[in-house]
Every structure is written in C-alpha cells, then in structure tokens.
Amino acid sequence: MPIYSEKVMEHFMNPRNVGEIPDADGVGEVGNPICGDMMTFYIKVKDNRLEDVKFKTFGCGAAIAVSSMVSEMAKGKTLDEGMMISNRDVADELGGLPKNKWHCSNLGAEALHKAIEDYRSKQAREA
C-alpha cells in the first residue's frame, strides 16, 4: 500500500510555484523543530490579495508537496483568507499524510502566515 496519497506524490514530483520573488512584499521563514528542515514563502500583494506566492523548501517530499499545495491554495486569496488556511486544510487537500509525516505539514501554512504578517508589519511601519 502506498504511504503517500497520489496528490502528495503528484505535488512532490511536480511542485507548483517553486522559487523566489526578488522584490517580494512579504517573506516568511520557518524551521521545523522536529527535523530541522526549512521553508521560506515569498508573497506579492496587490489590492489586498495574494497576487503571487512562491516558496523554497529544504525538506522532505511531504514538506515540498505541502508547500506546493499551500502556494496553490493561497494564490488569488485575500490576506485574511490566506491567514485562515490551516495546516489541517492543507493536509486534507493533499488527501491526508501518514502520521509520522504530520509534523511536515506544520510548516506550510505557518510560513505563509509569517509572510503575510511580514507584509502587514512593513505596511504599518510605512503608514
């Protein structure tokens, strides 16, 4: 029986939105305390929406699939909607993750939220 769902494998083999946004409006970086892997999200914001979302992940296959899924789910959403994407939503969208890989899904939404918070704190400073 396969350990990963087809969707996880598909996003791992063909991750969407990999890369960096050099002039990003917000950047969020998180490290996984359990395995030491790292994930960074970059966002471009226009009219309060996530116009572009990219990521760089140094982690396992599940973490890459999670990042890819978060980036797809977040694109085009408002900042508030982006903040509401939870780790659970992401794992559900991926068709679930094996129990020993749950910690890998903790990074995705968190890194996105951090990027949004980074954008918001920059805005507050400029106001």
- Range in contact with ligand FES (rule: CB under 6 A) among 9-17, 54-62, 74-82, 114-122: 54-62
32 binds ligand FES (CB under 6 A): yes
**Cβ closest to ligand FES, residue 81 vs residue 93:** 93
Report, in Å, the least distance between residue 123 CB and ligand FES.
30
CA angle, residues 43, 14, 51, in degrees to nearest 5: 20
- CA-nearest of 118, 121, 7 to 64 is 7
| Contact flag: residue 9 with ligand FES (CB under 6 A) | no
CA distance 59 to 1: 24
Residue 26 φ then ψ, to 5°:
-155, 145
Is residue 17 within the footprint of ligand FES (CB under 6 A)? no
60 catalytically annotated? no
Residue 60 as a binder of ligand FES (CB under 6 A): the answer is yes
Contact flag: residue 37 with ligand FES (CB under 6 A)? yes
Residue whose C-alpha is closest to residue 84's, from 74, 71, 69, 92? 74
